[in-house]
Each structure stands twice: as structure tokens, then as C-alpha cells.
Amino acid sequence: MTELNQQSASEIARMIRAGRTTSSTVMAAHLDRIAAREAAVGAFIHLDAERAMERAKDADRQPPKGLLHGVPFAIKDIIDTDDMPTGWGSDLFTDRRPDRNAPCVQAFLDAGAIPLGKTVTTEFAYFHPGKTTNPHNFRHTPGGSSSGSAAAVADHMAPIAFGSQTAASLIRPAAYCGVCAFKPTTGAFDLTGVLPLAPSLDTLGLLSRDPEDFVLASAVLTGSALPDLPDFSDTMPRVGLMRGPHWREGTMEMRDVVGRAMRALADHGAETGEIAHPPLFAELTEAHKVVMGFEAARVHADMCASHGNGISEQFARLVQSGLEITQAQYHQALAVRDRANAMVDILLAECDALLVPGAPGEAPEGLVATGDPLFSRMWTLLQLPCVALPLGTGPRGLPLGIQLIGRRNEDGKLLAVAKWVHAIFSAAS
């Protein structure tokens, strides 16, 4: 029998609603796992086990009040909470205490979910890492910036967790830790109360071990009913492989896992084929760097000037180099983005999703960096919905993964494809 802390958020919600378990029993299972593993994994920057259990017991005394009643969740520490500190991954702000919850947190609370605590983020959701290790091998990075959220979900400390992405901060840690991640269309979820980095790129998202959880969470976050998604029992999904301009910069095992994924989908009836990337796509990664640097510098220049000695070298460099980017260079990068987006609409006209690499390969060894965001920068710039799915392991026994890319504002269709693909991958593992 699957342990309670290994169940998905969706299954936990169903079990509690059906009276097959209780919120406090579920919470105890997760807190026991945290107690056993947190010292090595370091997923949390703030954890109040006693408060979490009190809330779970309160939930047991009430009828189910929402789609996530009794489900534990974790919160990336750039997201405001009114009863826990939000320190943004910086020693400068460890005592920062917001006076209200970010709307995304409040939506989960209103749906009956129970917060476990705040998870480690890289400093200001950029590159300088925190204490978190990869649960599969403590000598390797979990990725970033949603480091603690990915590690907590991967290590069965939480069934679902909030993260965010400005470059690769959801997809890359999901790939490195062997879990699923959902970066919706940029702007799909309210970012109020979430620390900005580069506003045109920042996207609130989620990590879990089952993409069904993203469907449930999306309904909660958008205040909508659960959608009736296609199950592909009649018409198979259409999935196109796009190697992309950086294909040869990934590892051989990454290229192999992408090929294996496409063969598995074709074997299960998907309409598959290969789509060549337009030459313009080779400019997207650099365009992303320009947009991110320009916007981050304008958002954080004053803070860096005020707290220079307490800012990491990585973040200080980002802001300094961003201030050197001109308005003309910034608008030129945005123009590249817009031209590429027009091409994406054509490329996806006959395709439900693109299948692309999730990360360059396995999680690198060492904890002083979080890995290369290369395989997500372009899709984040294009503001498209993305889902990371784990598939297999590399030569060091660490997870590998792919990502699926959908049309802008067609997140539901992408999640339906992701559920179908995940079921195939899970059955083969």
C-alpha cells in the first residue's frame, strides 16, 4: 500500500473527502517524513510542525470546504504569508513579516489546504543558492530557484508546492529532482505578494508528483470549476519533437531520453513527428538574458544600492550588467520575442504540444550553483505554458526529464496532454 506521504495531492483530497483518511493522519505522515529527512535535504527555511498539525485537526472537525481540503502544501519563500516570515532567500530579510497572504496562498487556504512551511529559494529567486540538496544525492544541486519546493515534493515531504519561474526556476529543479512542474501561460496566476524579478517573465507555478494536481490547483487559483479535459480515448494527442537550437549543448543521455519519450508516445498511438526550429529561435536565449537583466536591474537597483554589502556577487552582477542594457537593446529583444511568438502560432497549428528537453542532463555535482537554465529560457521569454515530466535516470542514477510546451492560454489542453504522457511514463517505470 502506498504511504500517505507518497500520495498525490489529488488522491489525498479524494481520500479525505471519502472518509478513507483524515487530515491529521495525512499531516502526521508528512511531518514524520520531514523529521526523518529535513536535516539532510534542507528543503524548508521555516517550518512550524505544531501549527500545521493544529490546522489539520481543525480541518478534521469541519466538513470539506474546498477542492484541497486537508491537503498539505509548501510555499516558496518569495511568496508572502501573514503568519510566517518571507525572507526572499536573503539574510538581509530573514525577519520580514508580511501582514497579509499572497492571493495564491489565500486561495489554497480557502480551498482547505494546509501550509507546512516556507521552502528554500535562491537569493531573490536568482542564482545564489540556499542550503537545499538534491534528495537523490546530497552532493548534487536540486536546481533553482524553486530549490526547496522541488526537493520537498521529490522527497515526499509535501504533495504539492508553490514555485515560480523567470528563467528555468520550475522546470529545471523538477528535472533535476525527478518531479513534475507546471509553468502556466505568463499572467495566468496572480503574482500579487510574490517578489518580482523580471515582471514580463515572472510566472507563478507549481511542483508535484502528478500533473493531475496541476488541474486541481489551477481551478483553485483561477476560481473556476474543474475542467472537463480530453482523455484521448478517441482522438490521440499530436506531439511534435523540437530539438531546438541548443540540442548539441545537452548531454548524450538527455538526447537519448527525449528520443525514448517520443518512441513511447508513438507506440501508444500519439501522432508524432519532428518540427524544425526556425533560425530566429537561435536568438531567443540571448534575448531572454537581455530582457531579464534589463527588468531585474530596474526593479532591484535601489535595493542593491542600499544593501550592497549584503547582496551576493551573482545578484549584484545581474543588476550592474542590467543597468548597462539600453532601452533600444531591450526593445530589440522584445521584438525578437514577438516575431518568434508569431512563428510559434504557426508551428503549433497542427500540434497539441511540443516535446523538448527539460534540462541539459542530470543535476550537476556541487551546491554552489544550481545548473544551467539553457533549455527553458526561450520558452519563458515566449510566455508559453510548460510542463516538466520525469523520465528515467542518467549514468549517475539521478533523474532525467522532458518538458511539454503548449499554446499560449491553452493551458488546459497542455495539462491534458501531460496527464496522458505521464501515465505512459509511469506505467513503463
- Residues known to be catalytic: 76, 145, 169
Question: CA 30 to CA 155: how far, in whole Å?
Answer: 10
Best CA proximity match to 154, nearest among 175, 127, 184: 175
Residues 6 or more apart whose CB falls under 8 angstroms from that of 170 comprise: 146, 163, 164, 181, 182, 183, 203, 205, 206, 207, 386, 388
d(CA 105, CA 182): 17
Residue 422 CB contacts under 8 Å (≥ 6 apart), including other chains: 180, 210, 211, 389
Sheet of 160-165: strand order equals 44-47, 114-119, 72-76, 160-165, 203-208, 180-183, 386-393, 399-405, 353-357, 238-241, 271-274
